[in-house]
Structure 1
Amino acid sequence: MKAILSFLYQWLIFIPILVVTTVATAILVMLGCSVGNNKFWGYVPPKYWSKIVCRAALCRIKVRHNNKIDPNQSYVFVANHQGAFDIFLTYGYLDQNIKWVQKYELRNIPFVGKASEIAGHVFVDSSNTRALSQTIDKAERELAEGVSMAIFPEGQRTYTGKMGRFKKGAYIIATQMQLPIVPITLNGPYDILKIHSRIMHPGKDLEIVIHDPISTAGMTEADIPGLIETSRRVIESALWDKYK
Structure 2
Amino acid sequence: MMKTFLIYAYSAILVLGSLPQLRQAKKIPDQPFARKAKSIYRTPATVSRRVIEKTKSTVTVSGHEKIPDQPVLFVANHQGIFDILVLLAYLDKPIAFIAKREIKRIPIISKWMEQIKCVFIDRSNRRAAIKVIDDGVESIKAGQSMVIFPEGTRSKGTNVQPFKSGSLRLGTRAEVPIVPITINGTYKMLEEDGGRIKAADIELIVGDPIYPEQYQGIKHNQLASDIQEIIINSID
User: Which residue matches 1:56?
Assistant: 54
1:156 equivalenced with 2:153 (yes/no): yes
Contact 1:123 1:135 in 2 (8 A): yes
Q: Deviations over 1:59-83 (max 9, x none)?
A: 0111113323223x11100111011
1:9 to 1:75, Cα distance in 2 relative to 1, 3 A:
same
Q: TM-score, normalised by structure 1?
A: 0.86
> 1:138 aligned to 135, 138, 148, which one?
135
Contact 1:83 1:195 in 2 (8 A): no
1:183 to 1:138, Cα distance in 2 relative to 1, 3 A:
same
Residue 222 (structure 1) shift? 6.0
1:20 to 1:227, Cα distance in 2 relative to 1, 3 A:
same
Residue 137 (structure 1) shift? 0.9
SS in 1 for 2:212: coil
1:70 equivalenced with 2:68 (yes/no): yes
Letter in 2 for 1:69: I
Q: Which moved more, 1:161-170 or 1:74-83?
A: 161-170
Contact 1:97 1:146 in 2 (8 A): no
Q: What are the within-5 Å matches in structure 2 for residues 32-51 of structure 1? A: 32-36=24-28, 38-51=36-49
1:86 equivalenced with 2:86 (yes/no): no
Contact 1:28 1:45 in 2 (8 A): no
User: Which residue matches 2:208?
Assistant: 212
Q: TM-score, normalised by structure 2?
A: 0.88
Residue 41 (structure 1) shift? 4.4
Q: Deviations over 1:19-44 (max 9, x none)?
A: 1112223x245312211254134421
User: Which residue matches 2:195?
Assistant: 198
User: Which residue matches 2:229?
Assistant: 233
1:28 to 1:134, Cα distance in 2 relative to 1, 3 A:
farther
Backbone CA RMSD of aligned residues: 2.2
Letter in 2 for 1:33: A
User: Which residue matches 1:4?
Assistant: none
User: Which residue matches 2:5?
Assistant: 11
Gaps of 5+ in 2: 30-35
Q: Could you tell me how far apart the structure 2 residues matched to 1:33 and 1:164 are?
A: 37
Residue 238 (structure 1) shift? 1.2
Residue 218 (structure 1) shift? 7.3
Residue 154 (structure 1) shift? 1.1
> 1:23 aligned to 6, 16, 23, which one?
16
SS in 2 for 1:67: helix
User: Which residue matches 2:32?
Assistant: none
Aligned residues: 230
1:137 to 1:162, Cα distance in 2 relative to 1, 3 A:
same
Contact 1:62 1:206 in 2 (8 A): yes
Q: Could you tell me how far apart the structure 2 residues matched to 1:107 and 1:89 are?
A: 21
Q: Deviations over 1:174-211 (max 9, x none)?
A: 1112111100000111011118943112x211110011
Q: Which moved more, 1:46-55 or 1:27-36?
A: 27-36
User: Which residue matches 1:118?
Assistant: 115
Q: Could you tell me how far apart the structure 2 residues matched to 1:217 and 1:178 are?
A: 9
Residue 230 (structure 1) shift? 0.9
